[in-house]
Amino acid sequence: MTRTVLLRPPAPERAAAERAAARAAGGRSRAGTRA
């Protein structure tokens, strides 16, 4: 579900939020791995 929502709307805000979350988690999130 989350994947579809992230892939459907190409919102830069979502990507930024995922990056921030990955940074807060120590860069272990898939966003950190992707970036």
pLDDT digits (tens, 9 = 90+) for 1-35: 555 555 666 678 888 888 887 787 775 555 555 55
State how far the Cα of 23 lies from the Cα of 21, in Å rounded to an integer. Answer: 5
Alpha carbon separation from 23 to 5, 9, 20 (Å, rounded): 21, 22, 5
What is the model's pTM? 0.38
CA 25/CA 11 separation, integer angstroms: 21
For residues 18, 23, 24, 25, the Cα torsion angle rounded to the nearest 10 degrees is 90
Half-sphere exposure of 22 (CA within 13 A, CB side): 15
Which pLDDT value is given to residue 14?
80
Residue 29's domain comprises: 2-34
* Total domains, the chain: 1
